[in-house]
A and B are shown apart, each in its own frame.
Chain A
Amino acid sequence: MKEIVSPEELLYRAVKPIPVYWKDGRITSALFKDSKGVSVDRDGGRSSENIISNFVTRMGDKNVKAIAILKAEQCFNNEMIVIPSPVQDNKYHAEIHCSETKVELSKKQARALANCCQCVALQDLEDTLV
């Protein structure tokens, strides 16, 4: 894996069934608000099917409602940085940060990611009351 994330790389973020992070089939910016950094998986040259299968294997098929997919370029265009941070069971793990010195994304950045990501639904994206 390259140490620097290139703009053309695709980044994948799992959407769990609970809590509900979508409305009318669209992802909310709340999905990208995390005080510890926005966790994503880099594509690492893998196919989308391979990546999604990996998510399901790691998290369980009932724990993955959808996958949000975005290009690293879309992060860079909104002044975010993507930091590779491989972990023991996932060498493709990375985090999206607001900047070099700040972890939490700004509202504008979170909204930009929600607007530009594509969503692959693994289960029906129905609005459900918890």
Chain B
Amino acid sequence: MIIAPSALEQHNNSSTASTDYRSFRTHLNKAVDSSKNLYIRTNYLSQYTRKHVIDKKKNIVEIVTVKSHKRIQSSTATVEAEEMGQLFMKEERRKTSNLYLLRSFLDLEYNWNDNGADPFSHNLISYAQSLVLDLIRQPDVFPTARQSIQFEYENENNDYLEIEIFKDKMEIYIELNGFEDREFEIPLTDSNKLNKIVLDFYERNR
């Protein structure tokens, strides 16, 4: 099924805008009390401080602030948590953008590159969209004239990660320091490995 980005946006908007105060408190308490990692907590705090500071009464913002200071151990963690929340929201926006972009590849007709390139199949686009939904960090997305979709990442060291998605496999290409490179294949059924490959690629700098 091809995902229409407008449906995704509606879901996101309705899930945050329609939350009343009681469920807001429930979500907040769950996020702060849970044993989940800071990244998940930050997601809830960032969403609700942004969405509710205008829509709700002022005392709710104060409650959020008090709760966050009580529960988060380190004072510096508050700043880090906010930054991680901003990163999360940025990636979510990119995710929507990538879904739109992939959908647009279906409009590329035969000979779209003036060299006899074939149009893209619904299956391939649908699969690429499912990967975009799963990926924590979003790639730059491009079509190729050999029936594949290319996901690209570059880090601060100019290292390069490329994931080329074909109808029957994924080919991974990694270039480090502009010189070392390696290439390998993974089957389409191993899509859950992609997040690890991407996170390992960025962790390399740390």
Binds A, one of B9-17, B124-132, B143-151: B143-151
A-chain residues with CB within 8 Å of residue B146 when the two chains form the complex:
33-35, 104
By DSSP majority rule, is chain A's interface helix, strand, loop, or mixed? loop
B164 within 8 A of A: yes
B171 within 8 A of A: yes
Q: A129-B101, A130-B101 are in contact. Are A34 and B117 (CB under 8 A)?
A: yes
Binds B, one of A16-24, A65-73, A118-126: A16-24
CA distance A111 to B176 in the complex (A): 13
A-chain residues with CB within 8 Å of residue B82 when the two chains form the complex:
none
Least distance between A8 CB and chain B CB atoms (Å): 25
Residue count of chain A within 8 Å CB distance of chain B: 22
User: Which residues of chain B from 145 to 160 have a CB within 8 Å of any chain A CB?
Assistant: 145-148, 150, 152, 160
CA distance A104 to B117 in the complex (A): 13
User: Which residues of chain A from 23 to 39 have a CB within 8 Å of any chain B CB?
Assistant: 23, 28-30, 33-37, 39
Q: A16-B113, A28-B150, A30-B150 are in contact. Are A107 and B140 (CB under 8 A)?
A: no
Chain B residues near A (Cβ < 8 Å):
97, 100-101, 104-105, 107-108, 112-117, 140, 142-148, 150, 152, 160, 162, 164, 171, 173, 175, 181, 183
